[in-house]
Amino acid sequence: MFKFNNINLDIWTETYGIGFYLSYLSRWPDLCCVQEAPNGRMMGYVIGKAEGSNTEWHGHVTAITVAPEYRRLSLARKMMTLLEMVSDETYKGFFVDLYVRCANTVAINMYEGLGYSVYRRVREYYGNLGIGKGGRDEEDAFDMRKPLSRDPHQRSIRMNGRDMLVRAQDVS
């Protein structure tokens, strides 16, 4: 696990206990991916899961991160593409979703470039650290979604997602 320190010691990366990672690897191994450099150094990883029911059945990106020295090499794009493909073809999900801090504009721009859009804003998803720019809590999250092939009419997304505010306790 120490091989992941260069990745996890980033202010935007949520880290978890070893049991959390092992539970994902045992339940959804095909939704977990590690990028490793030829010298054995970890470059990045994605962990995900399949969840929901009926038309809410979807792939979920629990964490994706790339070590700072390996950014801008399209590693995150490649890992997201793999997770989306497995969510679509193996799990037959309707969409893929993820949560991202509203202040993380670099990640939001990347996700939008990959076809994700904001479905809703979740108040204080990451806790409450006070009011930030524009009078909104910086620790809110955007729930971003990308429809998959089972959602040809794109019912899993909405145009005004940034205006849809929900409380963290109302998100399952």
Q: Can you say whether the dihedral through the CA atoms of 84, 79, 164, 140 is positive or negative?
A: positive
10 Å Cβ neighbour count for 85? 14
Q: Are 83 and 65 in contact (CB under 8 A)?
A: no
Q: How many folded domains does the chain comprise?
A: 2
Measured between alpha carbons, how far is residue 167 from residues 56, 66, 120, 143, 162 in Å? Answer: 19, 29, 10, 12, 14
50/1: higher pLDDT? 50
Q: What is the value of pTM for the model shown?
A: 0.86
What tens digit of pLDDT does each residue of 46-61 get? 999 999 999 999 999 9
Boundary (domain end) residue, out of 34, 63, 93: 93
Boundary (domain end) residue, out of 93, 120, 153: 93
Same domain as 116, residue 72: no
Residue type at 132 in one-letter notation: G
